[in-house]
Chains A and B, each alone.
Chain A
Amino acid sequence: NAGVTQTPKFRVLKTGQSMTLLCAQDMNHEYMYWYRQDPGMGLRLIHYSVGEGTTAKGEVPDGYNVSRLKKQNFLLGLESAAPSQTSVYFCASNNPGRGPNQPQHFGDGTRLSIL
Chain B
Amino acid sequence: AQSVTQPDIHITVSEGASLELRCNYSYGATPYLFWYVQSPGQGLQLLLKYFSGDTLVQGIKGFEAEFKRSQSSFNLRKPSVHWSDAAEYFCAVGDSGNMLTFGGGTRLMVKP
Please list the residues of chain A having a beta carbon within 8 angstroms of any beta carbon in chain B.
4, 31, 40-45, 48, 58, 90, 92, 94, 96, 100-104, 106-109
Contact = CB atoms under 8 A, between A and B. Distances in A.
A33 B24 CA distance: 24
A64 B47 CA distance: 30
Contact of B105 (A40, A58, A94, A101): A40
Contacts of B43: 4, 90, 106-109
Interface residues of B, number: 25
Interface in B14-61: 32, 34, 36, 41-46, 49, 51
Given A90-B43, A106-B44, A45 B99 contact: yes
A42 B104 contact: yes
Contacts, number: 55
A42 B105 contact: yes
Contact of B104 (A41, A96, A102, A107): A41
B51 A42 contact: no
* Max chain B Cβ within 10 angstroms of own Cβ: one of A43, A44, A58, A107: A43
Interface stretch (B67-75, B77-85, B90-98): B90-98
Nearest to B103: A42
B11 interface: no
A94 B94 CA distance: 13
B104 A40 contact: yes
